[in-house]
Chains A and B, each alone.
Chain A
Amino acid sequence: MGFKKMKLDTSGFETSMPTIGFGSSNDMLDGFSTVPSFDLPRTTDFDGFQKEAVQMVKPAKGTTTLAFIFKEGVMVAADSRASMGGYISSQSVKKIIEINPYMLGTMAGGAADCQFWHRNLGIKCRLHELANKRRISVSGASKLLANMLYSYRGMGLSVGTMIAGWDETGPGLYYVDNEGGRLKGDRFSVGSGSPYAYGVLDSGYKFDMSVEEASELARRSIYHATFRDGASGGVASVYHVGPNGWKKLSGDDVGELHYHYYPVETATAEQVMEEAAAE
Chain B
Amino acid sequence: MSIFEYNGSAVVAMVGKNCFAIASDRRLGVQLQTIATDFQRISKIHDHLFIGLSGVATDVQTLYQRLVFRHKLYQLREERDMKPETFACLVSAILYEKRFGPYLCQPVIAGLGEDDKPFICTMDSIGAKELAKDFVVSGTASESLYGACEAMYKPDLEADELFETISQALLSSVDRDCLSGWGGHVYVVTPNEIKERILKGRMD
Contact = CB atoms under 8 A, between A and B. Distances in A.
Contacts of B5: 85-86
B178 A231 contact: yes
B127 interface: no
Interface string A218-245: 0000000011111111100000000000
B73 interface: no
B161 interface: no
Interface in A206-228: 226-228
Interface residues of A, number: 24
A229 B175 CA distance: 14
Given A192-B32, A227-B34, A229-B32, A255 B177 contact: no
Contacts of B140: 86
Interface in A234-279: 234, 254-255, 258-259, 264
Nearest to A227: B203
B17 interface: no
Given A81-B204, A254-B203, A87 B176 contact: yes
A227 B175 CA distance: 13
If over half of A's interface residues share one DSSP class (helix, strand or loop), that class is named, otherwise mixed; here it is loop
If over half of B's interface residues share one DSSP class (helix, strand or loop), that class is named, otherwise mixed; here it is loop
Contacts of A192: 32
A240 to B, nearest CB: 23
Interface string B168-204: 0000000111110000000000000000000011111
Interface residues of B, number: 19
B10 to A, nearest CB: 11
Contacts of B34: 227-230
A91 B177 CA distance: 11
Given A228-B34, A230-B34, A255 B176 contact: no
B177 A231 contact: no
Nearest to B174: A88
Contacts of A87: 176-178
B72 to A, nearest CB: 25
Contacts of B1: 85-86
Interface of A: 62, 79, 81, 83, 85-88, 91, 192, 226-234, 254-255, 258-259, 264
9 contacts: A86-B179, A88-B178, A230-B8, A230-B31, A231-B32, A233-B178, A234-B204, A258-B203, A259-B200
